A and B are shown apart, each in its own frame.
Chain A
Amino acid sequence: MKHIPKQELHGFHDGRLSAEREREIVLHISSCNACRMESEDLARIRSWILSAGDVRPHSSFAGDAETRAYDTEQLEGQWLGIEKVAARTVLVLSVLVAALTAFSMIASPPASASVDAVLNDDRQDSTVVQFMVEHEISRDEALVAAVTKQE
């Protein structure tokens, strides 16, 4: 006896087959233990899932959901106000910082141009130390090398 393909049994279980094919399957199942068992398994799994879904929300759930939804909307409205103020403040501050930076660039030349600047700058001082270690030279020699390199 040729059994019903599994996929078709699932289709049968979901009512996806033609009436003609359904009749054939019902007929087959009535005389085939293996296919009947498979079909019954599918039906049992469905009924067990149905009975397992036994959670029922508390009677105040819907009211709470509405309150929460409306509250969130109001809260978002408030936040939107705060956000607008914050955005404006950030914009004003950015413009100020940009203007100050531009002014300081014009007012004083870049610090890397002189030996004084090298001496006053920690980061550049570390470059000098690096030169001293790498080339086994004196601090003065390293200073000259660092400034030459920068220029």
Chain B
Amino acid sequence: MFAGFFCAVKRNFPPPRSFFSVTDKQRAPDDWTVVQAVLAGKPGAFQTLVRRYERQVANIIYLSLGNREDVEDLSQEVFLRLYQSLPRLNPQRSLFSWIYRITANLCIDEIRRRKIKRILSLEFLIDEGRSLAEMGGRVHAPDRILEDQERRHAIVQALQNLPADHRITIVLREYEDLSYEEIADALQISVPAVKSRLFRARERLRALLEPHLRGGS
């Protein structure tokens, strides 16, 4: 329905890392100043906040769910939940970790909901078969140098083979560059749990992407 609303960026699009290179304390006052404006009903204030995090939220959702079609609806849902929760938030804490928590919970719920739906409709048999066939095709061509687009597709597919909580953990680490502590805070788990999820997620990805890792740059 919203196809085309979200657009893929050219391959050299810079990831939003710079925003997260500042420390928590440095970024927190800015966010909370904006939140105050939102709570005071200032027009445009909420979109300032949305603009600040929309790309991160959209990509966490995309990487976690593996398709672009639902990114906009789910992103809207994240920001709606954020908006509704603003009056109850503690200004001592970082807003971004709250946004990640909402996004992560939504993704995990959505992944589980879809899994149940797929199992019920037995579609998963077809899907699994298709993705395995795609993987298999590459196993037989290890010397093939993969194009960027193909590789991006492969990594997104591989991510979909991880359990929901592992998937969101590795996306927050590798894409958002969050520290173990920040991930633990966003997902409400311990730092050792983050470490263990990351370890297992990466080892699984390594196994799934073996042909790509050995075949190309």
Asked if A65 and B46 make an inter-chain contact with CB atoms under 8 angstroms apart, the answer reads yes
A16 to B113, CA, bound (A): 35
Chain A neighbourhood of B126, CB < 8 A? none
Chain B neighbourhood of A73, CB < 8 A? 83
Smallest Cβ distance from B19 to chain A, in angstroms? 14
A109 interface residue (CB < 8 Å to B): no
Chain B neighbourhood of A48, CB < 8 A? 151-152, 154-155, 209
Asked if B46 and A57 make an inter-chain contact with CB atoms under 8 angstroms apart, the answer reads no
B96 interface residue (CB < 8 Å to A): no
Total interface residues on A, CB under 8 Å, equals: 33
Asked if A14 and B50 make an inter-chain contact with CB atoms under 8 angstroms apart, the answer reads no
A60-76 vs B, CB cutoff 8 Å, 1 = contact: the mask equals 01111110111011000
- Nearest CB in chain B to that of A58: its residue: B5
**Residues A57 and B75 in contact in the complex (CB < 8 Å), given A41-B206, A41-B213, A65-B50:** yes
A55 to B71, CA, bound (A): 9
B32 interface residue (CB < 8 Å to A): no
A50 to B17, CA, bound (A): 10
What are 26 A-B pairs with beta-carbon distances under 8 A? A41-B206, A48-B152, A48-B209, A51-B15, A52-B156, A53-B15, A53-B63, A54-B13, A54-B59, A55-B7, A55-B55, A55-B68, A55-B71, A56-B7, A56-B13, A58-B5, A58-B72, A61-B5, A61-B6, A64-B76, A65-B75, A65-B79, A65-B80, A66-B46, A68-B79, A70-B46
